[in-house]
Amino acid sequence: MTEPIFELKDIVVTVNQGTPEQINIMDHVNLSVFPGDFITILGSNGAGKSTLFNVIGGNIPVTEGQILLNGRDITNMSVERRTRFLSRVFQDPKMGTAPRMTVAENLLLSEKRGQHRGFGPRHLKTHMDKFHEITSTMNNGLEHRLNTATGKLSGGQRQALSFLMATIKRPDILLLDEHTAALDPQTSQELMTATNNQITRNHLTCLMITHHLDDALKYGNRLVVLDNGKISYDISGDEKDNLTKEELLSFFNDIEE
């Protein structure tokens, strides 16, 4: 049987400890992520979606429980060290890219992450063919803007660039934090299509927070619903493929009761 690439074991995050406002914002969460899983994550406002990503990314410490990467305990590993195997794309197009640097320079920065050498113009030149190839897969004209400052791109192009920067080194885990939410509906759908193509083609392991029920149903092999700091549904395979929007909505009705 395939072993999980990443595991959350009985994770508890308690805030305001020792005060009357003490509360578990992550409440005994167990999640095993398998290689190639593409998990869509839904939950009402305040359900704990960002907390889940912050736990995985090491941005907030856990109060109880264990985090494993390929069976190795990384519970107390720093955010910086986790970036060796983990990439995250945020909702805000301004995050993740340096505005004054060109598209190609931003890509080179990601390509060379963790290295001390290889940022000069000569290095950039040797990478241009590759950068042209990968940007053209996003189907939004980014390949024609390799020498444009990132701050001058459209929001959709900038998010596409953030996505490419996050995946260029093929992370073990990719976290998409509502990465299409700040875009207009059409651009959002175009980026979602390109995202899905990249993930499936490259067999990336990905967790994606979304507020769109349709996207949560359409994409991925697995769907997780969070409620009140707990995982209330975790379905995959045929069960997910056969899930209707009405059934999915009923999960939320259950939640809100």
Give the Å distances, CA to CA, from 61 to 53, 177, 227: 12, 19, 20
Comparing CA positions, the residue from 179, 162, 181 lying closest to residue 97 is 162
- As measured in angstroms, the least distance from the Cβ of 252 to ligand ATP is 13
Is 151 one of the binding residues for ligand ATP (CB under 6 A)? no
Which of residues 2, 17, 19, 45 is near ligand ATP by CB under 6 A? 45
Nearer residue to ligand ATP within complex by CB, 50 or 196: 50
177-210 b/e with 16+ CB inside 10 Å = b? bbbbebbeeebbebbbebbbebbeeeebbbbbbb
Interface mask toward ligand ATP for 174-193; x: CB under 6 A: --------------------
Binding string to ligand ATP for residues 22 to 41, with x set by CB under 6 A, is what? Answer: ---x----------------
Single-letter code of the amino acid located at 135 = T
Task: Count the site residues for ligand ATP by CB under 6 A.
Answer: 11
Locate tokens 């045929």: which residue?
Answer: 238
Q: Is 88 in the site for ligand ATP (CB under 6 A)?
A: no
Of the residues 15, 101, 134, 182, which one makes contact with ligand ATP according to CB under 6 A: 15
From the DSSP assignment, how many helices (H) and strands (E) are in the chain?
A: 9, 10
Do the beta carbons of residue 65 and residue 10 sit within 8 Å? yes
- Residue 177 or 190 with smaller CB distance to ligand ATP: 177
> φ and ψ at 246, to 5 degrees?
-60, -45
Given 49, 82, 222, 240, the residue binding ligand ATP (CB under 6 A) = 49
Please answer whether residues 138 and 165 qualify as being in contact, where contact means their C-beta atoms are separated by less than 8 angstroms: no
Pick the closer one to ligand ATP by CB: 23 or 98. Answer: 23
Among positions 8, 38, 40, 43, the unique one binding ligand ATP when judged by CB under 6 A: 43
Residue type (1 letter), 82 = R
Instruction: Supply the minimum distance, in Å, between the C-beta of residue 27 and ligand ATP.
Output: 10
Q: Could you list the residues that contact ligand ATP (CB under 6 A)?
A: 15-16, 25, 43, 45-51
